[in-house]
Amino acid sequence: MLDCRQVLSELSNYIDDGMTLEEKCAFEEHLARCRRCWVVCDTTRKTIEIVSENMPPAMPLAVSERLHARLRLLYASRGS
């Protein structure tokens, strides 16, 4: 049986789905009995979800290449 300290130290593995089935079951059994750990786990998961949803979209490759080419020209002209 896991205690709160163990649950908190393994929270990242749980959220990242990096546990064996046995470890996951023990973890979830603790969460079912411990309101504090459940709140921490739920809040952490929701925070990650919110942050992930608000990430800016990746810059298209063509735009990135043009930007880097322009910056190289700019810095090359300043160096001479």
Q: The domain at 4-79 falls in which architecture?
A: Orthogonal Bundle (1.10)
pLDDT value, residue 19: 97
Residue found by looking up tokens 């080419």 in the block? 69
pLDDT value, residue 79: 72
pLDDT value, residue 80: 57
Provide the 10 A C-beta neighbour count for residue 19: 16
Residue 4: pLDDT above 80? yes
Q: 55 in helix, strand or coil?
A: coil
Determine the length of the chain: 80
Structure tokens at 75: 């810095």
pTM exceeds cut of 0.95? no
Closest CA to 27 of 63, 52, 2, 62: 2
pLDDT per residue as tens digits for the range 18-67: 999 999 999 999 999 999 999 999 999 999 998 888 878 788 999 999 99
Domain ranges of the chain: 4-79
pLDDT value, residue 45: 95
